[in-house]
Structure 1
């Protein structure tokens, strides 16, 4: 999709600070971070929402979650045994939930205490 920001990042048309990449997943630092660590994890194929991806390719959704955990470990947000300090994964789905780029993505947030409920 030529008008999709994230598709253009996958294609290398727009630069990204990539922290993790596989054949089907790309992870890069958010340009407007909301925490010390704020990384977006996306599929390299275009799917507009988490629900659309879950219906089309549930295994890829699992790969995205696994990549988010790998990023959290790489960024020092979780130890090898899964202990503290921890991290949050967020998937905004649809405009009412705050999704502004309509290419499914997980936010990996950490490096500070994250309150509950979120904003």
Structure 2
């Protein structure tokens, strides 16, 4: 979904992670497909920077992990984004404590969503 500080935020050029970024590619492809020309106005490899820029200008975000202070944009002219799946992989070195906490949170959320989907019969 597209997100901004308020549903009335007017979408302009998005903020994004640097290449290679699957979410950046998906967002730009969707905008091109919808005939909207744009460039990436802000690039950051830091989530806090993207949150700040996305809150001010509008950005693509996953609904399940929408950062505090951002809400879905309701502009009907925004391009449909489609789906994107993420895969967690193991590595040979020990992750830092924040990396491990993030991995644990993602796995726990995936299990919760899977359980909710199973219970709802979807």
Q: Same fold (TM over 0.5)?
A: no
Which structure's CA Rg is the greater one? Answer: 2
Q: Which has the higher helix share?
A: 2
Q: Which has the higher strand share?
A: 1
**What's the TM-score, normalizing by structure 2?**
0.29
